[in-house]
Amino acid sequence: MPIAIDPEAKVRIILDSDIEKPDAVIFLCRALTGRQQREISEFIEKVSGLENVAAIDETFRILALCVIGWDGIPEPYNPDKLMDILNTLEAGEIIRKTLFAGPTWADKKKFVLPSEVNTGESAKPVPV
């Protein structure tokens, strides 16, 4: 199954400012399709030419496309709350990280394949 449509494939993003904090909020983001990557890339190219209010609204619209959940915030995920907890720089950071990140094929294999480690017979005891 392609990673972008695998419901188990999520990108976990921590803001750079929180990376060392033990209680950092983790934003759960979707693995993007090519079309979504293109839409986000087009947004990044045009956002600097927008008026401030339009740029902010467009930033949070694109952010809601990326983020599908969070860990570390005591209330249930609601995309309408993103604008209440993040500023535009933090939103942009999550968008950029989502665009250029995603589970690798090795990560995807972990979702669906059993371990490759043979857990059968243990080593024989060493005589003393």
Are the C-beta atoms of 3 and 9 separated by less than 8 Å? yes
Each residue of 36-56: pLDDT tens digit?
Answer: 889 888 888 887 777 888 889
Average pLDDT over residues 88-110: 75
Give the integer Cα–Cα distance in Å for 58 and 2: 28
Sheet holding 67-71, edge to edge: 10-13, 26-30, 67-71
Each residue of 59-74: pLDDT tens digit?
Answer: 999 999 999 999 999 9
DSSP track, 108-128: HHHHHSPPSS--SSPPPPPP-
Task: Specify the pLDDT at position 124.
Answer: 65
Average pLDDT over residues 93-105: 78
User: What is the residue extent of each domain of the chain?
Assistant: 3-112
Banded pLDDT at 118 (limits 50, 70, 90): low
